[in-house]
Amino acid sequence: MKNRYDKQFKEEAIRLSDEVGVNKAAHQLELSYNTLIDWRRKRKQHSNIKIMPMHYPPVTSYHYHSDLLSIILDHKESEGWLMNNYIQLYAMPPSDKNNFFRIDYYFPYSVWKSCPLIYYQRVNDKFIKDKWDSIIDFLIYCINKDCYAYIDYDRYFIPCMNAYNSYHVNHDMFIYGYDSDKRQFHVAEYSNDNKYTYFTINFEDLKLGYESANKEHNHNNIVNGIEIISYYNRYGDLPISIDYIIQGIKDYLNSTSTNSIINPHGRWEFVRYSSVYGVEVYKNIYYYLETFLAQNPDKTDTHPLHVCHEHKQIMLMRIKRLAQMGYIRYPQYIYTNYKKAVKYALLAKNLHTKYIITKDSKLIERIVESTKKAEILDRCVLNFLIKNINTRYDLQPVIIDEDLEDCPFEFEATVKKESCVFLRNSDILTDDSLLWTSNNNDVCTLDVESTKTETLLYHRKPGTAVLQAVNEKGDIVMVCKCTCIDSGFKTNFTTSTAYEGQWKETNHGLKGNGDHEFVLFDNVGNDFVYETQITVLSKRGAPGIVFKSSRYLEDFYCICLDADSGYAILWEPNNVIAREHLGIQPSITYHVKVLSKGKEVSFYMDGNLIFKHENSKIREGYFGLMATGKSIFQKTGIYSIMDNNDDITYGTKIIRLPSHTETPGFCGHVGNGVHFFHSHESKTISTKGVNDIGFD
């Protein structure tokens, strides 16, 4: 069969892969990744040229971050490591004695040693001189062995640098290829305008620069030898860890060290304990701009504002990726608002560049103003993100519209008969005064005495309505899709979760749908009666009640009604305790009751004792519901064994709340009923029946 690709196309494809990386080049040219790798391999076998894969990095503030990411991001399994890291920042506290304004990404020790996707080693210059005729031969040897090199050099000897033949200054350089025919190395370095760039340097110029920087009497070297790095994936695909990301963002917002989650035993921490972390580094930026530059207008440092902007860009990438994976509620709203933080950080960085050129002191005030706007959005949006992020794939994956400039906050609210919903403008990312309107006043009405910062929504009759809140400019800021129902879910749990995802409150009760979808309430009990009415709506449905559960469902008991097999089953994670064939069928409502006393658990259905479990290992825990398939739960409640009631008084809570009442209930998915689970903020139902849907 005739070859589809001619020689010229292959050469251009290889050249493009040298510039943008193999993955990106293969995607742009619609080639197989392996095909392009094969062409590159054949070039190495028949030429004196070898250029290692490089991918232009999203972090360009410091050499070691840029070089590392240039290596690993050409491999698709590196995405998880990037998303899990580059969240936390640290710096030395600003002071009159400390004019070192370095702000950097936190790693407990060298980033080279922190990354599991590379093999790293450092070689002494004396060792190289003993084994190779020159640094040129050694670097070619390294590249032929698929190794990158990181060296010190003196810019005085490099023609493309401003320091050429003018003054001596040491810097670091990353080497990723060579061309013996042209006697050139392919290198990554910062150009004269401080942009991370790929270019070529003659063998002889690099040799002179390296030897000058590594003389024994020169103590200004950076690398202290040659660092050899190769791509080496020991662990396969590194997944995105949502739990790690959540903790990293919390540490960033709380300005606490992330070392505790990287090294639980506190060993090998690279950063001094006197460092400041997270959002506290903004103080360094303000000190640099308002205090240091006022006294030293010529001693500028690009790093603080560059890192500030870059950090926001990476976080925006992270938000987009998590939205695509279905981890975030209100993803477009969060993305669009955080993009504004990126915009203000970029404006501050660009104004600082202008200041470096013009030395116009009036620019400082504008830089500070833009940075403060970026900081406010950074804090507010990330706090909002933490409250609306999930550890499971409960939510629908979303394709983010990156060009959208403004996005109203859209949410749903359910209002029961003789109750109302309390809407607060402060629950979203705006300080504007808002005015609410409804498109259906027959279904629900807005409180005529409501202020511009809060309002009440009243139930009038069953139906739906769309509410809009506009600011003083006339922009739509919030949209509420309201459903008014007469009865809803009857329960005596006075604290409740926000029903979301596969759970919805309807006129018939609480409707669940999915595969092992859980609702866990805030109440804890040991000796109790717990009952509900369950209607199985699908042939393969297996809904159930959960009791004595740990906060995140590591341990619990569940009794489910399996319409597929007809059995009632008592089970715990990884173990079926008891089962009884009862001919469970769809579209029939069953009254289910659990009586727990000491170690004994008794299960009743429709008033009949079905089975007992006399050796319960779990003493107490939370109550909940589970939906597998479609099902409806109604008249769900708990009461004390001492009352021996046959009927629950709904709205009267008997079982106590746990001591850590700040821990909210939650709902969502648990694969196989046993996997890790993340809580959402609970929305408290007050004694007056007012449902607070705020995000505090």
Between 34 and 258, residue with greater pLDDT? 34
Q: Which of 255-269, 286-300, 356-370 has the highest mean pLDDT?
A: 356-370
657 band by pLDDT with thresholds 50, 70 and 90: very low
d(CA 145, CA 139): 10
Helical (H) or strand (E) element with 664: none
Contact 233, 117 (CB under 8 A): yes
Q: What pLDDT was estimated at residue 571?
A: 94
Given a cut of 50, whether residue 184 has pLDDT beyond it is yes
CB atoms inside a 10 Å sphere around CB 278: 24
d(CA 17, CA 400): 28
End-to-end CA distance of the chain: 66
646 band by pLDDT with thresholds 50, 70 and 90: very low
Q: What pLDDT was estimated at residue 305?
A: 96
Q: What pLDDT was estimated at residue 661?
A: 33
pLDDT single digits (tens) 90-102: 998 877 666 667 8
Between 431 and 411, residue with greater pLDDT? 411
To the nearest 10 degrees (0 to 180), the angle between helices 362-387 and 242-254 is: 140
d(CA 457, CA 469): 13
SS3 424: strand
**343 to 74, 328, 339, 370: CA distances (angstroms):** 28, 22, 6, 9
Q: Which residue in this structure is represented by tokens 């190779």?
A: 132
234 band by pLDDT with thresholds 50, 70 and 90: confident
Kindly report which listed range (27-31, 63-67, 261-265) carries the lowest average pLDDT score.
Answer: 261-265
Q: What pLDDT was estimated at residue 604?
A: 96
Percent of the chain past pLDDT 70, that is, above it, reads 83
Contact 669, 507 (CB under 8 A): no
Between 318 and 102, residue with greater pLDDT? 318
Across all residues in the chain, what is the average pLDDT?
Answer: 82
Q: What pLDDT was estimated at residue 342?
A: 97
Given a cut of 60, whether residue 291 has pLDDT beyond it is yes
Contact 108, 270 (CB under 8 A): yes
Closest CA to 155 of 175, 142, 173, 180: 173
pLDDT single digits (tens) 449-492: 555 667 778 888 888 999 888 888 888 888 988 888 887 888 88
HSE of 7 in the Cβ direction (CA atoms, 13 Å)? Answer: 1
Instruction: Flag whether the pTM goes above 0.75.
Output: no
Between 108 and 508, residue with greater pLDDT? 508
Q: What pLDDT was estimated at residue 433?
A: 77
Quote the radius of gyration of the chain (alpha carbons, Å): 31
Longest dimension (CA), the chain: 96
Provide the sign of the torsion angle of the four alpha carbons 371, 374, 378, 384, taken in this order: positive
Q: What pLDDT was estimated at residue 395?
A: 58
d(CA 378, CA 343): 11
Q: What pLDDT was estimated at residue 155?
A: 92
| Beta strands in 250-383, from DSSP E residues, in sequence order | 276-277
d(CA 578, CA 267): 47
Contact 86, 314 (CB under 8 A): yes
221 band by pLDDT with thresholds 50, 70 and 90: low
Instruction: State mean pLDDT over 323-341.
Output: 92
pLDDT single digits (tens) 554-573: 899 999 999 999 999 999 99
Structure tokens at 331: 């993803």
Closest CA to 82 of 70, 91, 94, 96: 70
Q: What angle do CA 65, 345, 71 make, to 5 degrees?
A: 20
Structure tokens at 642: 């001492």
Q: What pLDDT was estimated at residue 123?
A: 87
Instruction: State mean pLDDT over 27-39.
Output: 87
CB atoms inside a 10 Å sphere around CB 361: 11
Given a cut of 70, whether residue 666 has pLDDT beyond it is no
Q: What pLDDT was estimated at residue 391?
A: 62
3-class secondary structure per residue, 11-71: HHHHHHHHHHCHHHHHHHCCCCHHHHHHHHHHHHHCCCEEECCCCCCCCCCCHHHHHHHHH
Q: What pLDDT was estimated at residue 570?
A: 95
Percent of the chain past pLDDT 90, that is, above it, reads 44
Kindly report which listed range (266-275, 289-298, 468-477) carries the lowest average pLDDT score.
Answer: 266-275
Instruction: State mean pLDDT over 186-205.
Output: 92
Q: What pLDDT was estimated at residue 691?
A: 26
Task: Cite the DSSP H helix spans in 527-652.
Answer: none
Given a cut of 70, whether residue 679 has pLDDT beyond it is no
**83 to 241, 259, 315: CA distances (angstroms):** 8, 17, 9
Q: What pLDDT was estimated at residue 453?
A: 66
Instruction: State mean pLDDT over 322-338.
Output: 91
Q: What pLDDT was estimated at residue 649?
A: 40
Phi, psi of 626 (to 5 degrees): -130, 135
d(CA 562, CA 173): 65
Those residues whose C-beta lies under 8 Å from the C-beta of residue 647, and which sit 6 or more positions away, are none
688 band by pLDDT with thresholds 50, 70 and 90: very low
Q: What pLDDT was estimated at residue 501?
A: 52
Q: What pLDDT was estimated at residue 66?
A: 95
pLDDT single digits (tens) 238-253: 889 998 999 999 999 9
CA dihedral 512, 518, 521, 527 (to 10 degrees): 110
d(CA 7, CA 75): 26
Given a cut of 60, whether residue 263 has pLDDT beyond it is no
Kindly report which listed range (80-84, 180-184, 346-350, 371-375) carries the lowest average pLDDT score.
Answer: 180-184
Provide the sign of the torsion angle of the four alpha carbons 648, 652, 655, 660, taken in this order: positive
Q: What pLDDT was estimated at residue 122?
A: 87
44 band by pLDDT with thresholds 50, 70 and 90: low
Provide the sign of the torsion angle of the four alpha carbons 85, 87, 88, 91, taken in this order: positive
pLDDT single digits (tens) 371-423: 999 999 999 999 999 988 876 545 567 889 999 888 888 888 888 777 777 77
d(CA 687, CA 492): 11
Residue at 492: amino acid letter:
N
| Beta strands in 304-361, from DSSP E residues, in sequence order | none
Instruction: State mean pLDDT over 438-455.
Output: 75
